[in-house]
Amino acid sequence: GQNIDQPTEMTATEGAIVQINCTYQTSGFNGLFWYQQHAGEAPTFLSYNVLDGLEEKGRFSSFLSRSKGYSYLLLKELQMKDSASYLCAVHGSGNTGKLIFGQGTTLQVKP
């Protein structure tokens, strides 16, 4: 079967650093994506990892270990506007581009 796990909820303080973990078991692997989704809105693309290691993009970084089926999204210098759901998604086998999404992690940033 295919399974993507992430914590349901997290809370962090403004200005702090938070790490959101994602583990996956899929038939085939062609990349892992992180999306941000504010309440009532569509998801927006944050990052993409296909090789092991860290990808940095401003305050956001994403890490991948293919051998462990593990990724994390690191958010630095948290701002109130970072309160949102963060979705981990895997592109499995084939060339259809379809993504399998985890349930999402709702992050609440407190002052």
Partner 1 sequence: SQTIHQWPATLVQPVGSPLSLECTVEGTSNPNLYWYRQAAGRGLQLLFYSVGIGQISSEVPQNLSASRPQDRQFILSSKKLLLSDSGFYLCAWSVRSPLHFGNGTRLTVT
Radius of gyration in angstroms for the set of CA atoms belonging to the chain, rounded to a whole number: 13
SS3 21: strand
List 48, 66, 74, 92, residue binding partner 1 (CB under 8 A) = 48
User: How far is residue 8's CA from residue 103's CA, in Å, rounded to a whole number?
Assistant: 7
Binding region for partner 1 (CB under 8 A) out of 11-19, 36-44, 52-60, 70-78: 36-44
- Least distance (Å) from partner 1 to the CB of residue 65? 20
CB of 18 to partner 1, least distance (A): 20
Residue 109 interacts with partner 1 (CB under 8 A): yes or no: no
